[in-house]
A and B are shown apart, each in its own frame.
Chain A
Amino acid sequence: MENSECLSNKKEDNLNNIKVNSHKLAKINKLRNQYRFKNMLFIIGVVLVTLIVIICVGAPLISPNDPLKVDLGKAFLNSTNKYPLGTDQMGRCILSRILYGGRTSIFIALLSLSLTVTIGTFIGILSAVSPKIVDSFFMGICEITLAFPGILLAIVIVGFLGPSIVNVMVAISFVSWAKYARVSRNLVLSIRESGFIKAAKVCGTSNLNIIRYHIIPNIFSTILTIMVTDIGSTILRLATLSFIGLGAQHPTPEWGVMINEAREYIDYAPNMIVYPIIMIFLTVASFNLIGDSLRDRYDGDTY
């Protein structure tokens, strides 16, 4: 009985049963506060991302108006009951366009990022387990890709392929797979030398199963962390390309496109440009908050 009580106390506060002097206590409290702060940032990030995803996925249910309906008689309205954030130069509801635009932005960003990660990790693992000549070939291509500034290369690629949302996806994947390939190759090379891989090998696990059951699960957390950190920058890249007219095309609601259109009326109707920028800021910031906290956790950072 006594024992269980002691245990339950320990669960609540593990300092109760240990004598600590004030020095130690101050240090422990500092660590705890840091931990709480980081935890709070993580929770804020998760809550914001959840909210944004919910409103974007539920856009057809929530949005007050049709995002594509043009009504020139209602252009440049300030916020009213029917148009909570006002209307743009063609009389379209800004709120509805933002909600639908979020769908495009986040969905395309996630899609292109998963494409990037899959290709990058696959090439990385492949070059780590292949003979040296294949390895140098892939790493050479990686270095060439990394030598160019990402956004410039993406602009060139979309320029060749023609502006469209699918081509932007391809371009973004093409410029950012190299990072994942290098990271996963290095991770595989270091894990391959560890004891459990050798042990699994001599106990008779085939090479394919070693990759499937031992290598991939072990690099997964690191790759996932980098991926979450990269969601924000991918959304930004997508918006950038749309802003300069290479991504989503004119009537499609997309945040980058909206900013591009609102740019001309920035003096006359600032609400048109402010709301998409706020949305991009919030989305990128909240994804980065999650990514940073995940990195802190998985990199073994002591709080």
Chain B
Amino acid sequence: MQMLHIISTLAWRNLWRNHRRTVIMIAAVSVGVWAMIFMTALMRGMVNDMVRDGIQSLPGHVQVHHPGFRDDPGINKLLPQTDQDIIDGFATGGFRAWASRIKVPAVVSSERESRGVTLFGIDPERERAITFVADSIVAGRLLENVADTGVVIGQKLADVLDTELGKRIVLMSQDPQNDIADRGFRIVGIFDAKLESYEETMVFAAKETVQKMLRVPNRVNEVVVLGDDYRDVSRLRNRVAELSGPDVEVLPWDEVDGYLGTMLSVMDGFVLVWMIVIFLALSFGLVNTLVMAVFERVREIGLMLALGMRPANILAQIIVESLLLLVIGLLIGNTLAWASIAPLAGGIDISAVAEGMEMFGASSVLHPELIARDVVSANVVVIVLGFFASLSPAWRASRYEPMEAISKV
């Protein structure tokens, strides 16, 4: 304890011996830490927007399917339970939101053009809390109930089909017996999604109407559940699995949408690399500062060794000095980061570049997101790498021969 006291006293006072150098180094660490946290918050905000938008674009947080659905996503891969059983069961789940759907590949035709699309038979009330479509209607209305006979298509698809609100289109797919199942729908709503591909390929009709058309009454092939946090869906997945019974596949969003899941993983890796790169740049300054600090104190180090201080104590002194410098830099850097992110909670308008960003599914307002894990990572990276960066000069200091060191001029 006393050794710790004398080591920390010496480290602290030596730190301020050349205060100009120390202040410059602290400023460098502070700016580095600020950059780590602030830029990470911006990147996190952007990716979060993309992931949230992606999740809103149908996957939800957890999905339930027939085990063969992902290989052959059609009408033959219905869930074993009836839709009513699913509705009754999931009503007891305590989920934030959920919906059962029927989702099949289909061909849509207007009087002029036809296109391949994905037809969603949805419960509009339940989907309102899960998908983007309710908030993206730019003309007409959303479906009113599960028996609505209208259809909602994207703006892009309307352009391609050369059709418009109020006109009729024909949707054609297959029933479980592989017979053609088709029906005419009137366009009651047009939506404008962030991604044009959504507008061009997604068609929404009422669930019961689609079930009738496909001759699968009271059956669905997808259940979507929304939890509270997309980063942690394991408990949600277990709960959904309990309610879904056997012979189904329960998948989290990052497996349903591999692109989104991979993007988040890549982001996590990128954040760590970003922090390490910044610190590596800082570490040159840190090592230089410590080398100079040791070089200037060779005689004192020799003296302390001569008086009976162990080399390990000298090593500890230099490392503590380095850690003190880093901790001060961390405190300032963290404060700066918080102070610069907090005022931006309302979002940063990036509409000037929004068109380009839309390609990636990002919105025109960027909300920096300060995540505790990122702040902890930045601090841990600085402390751990700082510790290792200090080892070399500290080790050299501890290996001095007392008399040689004392004799240095």
Does A pair with B?
A: no
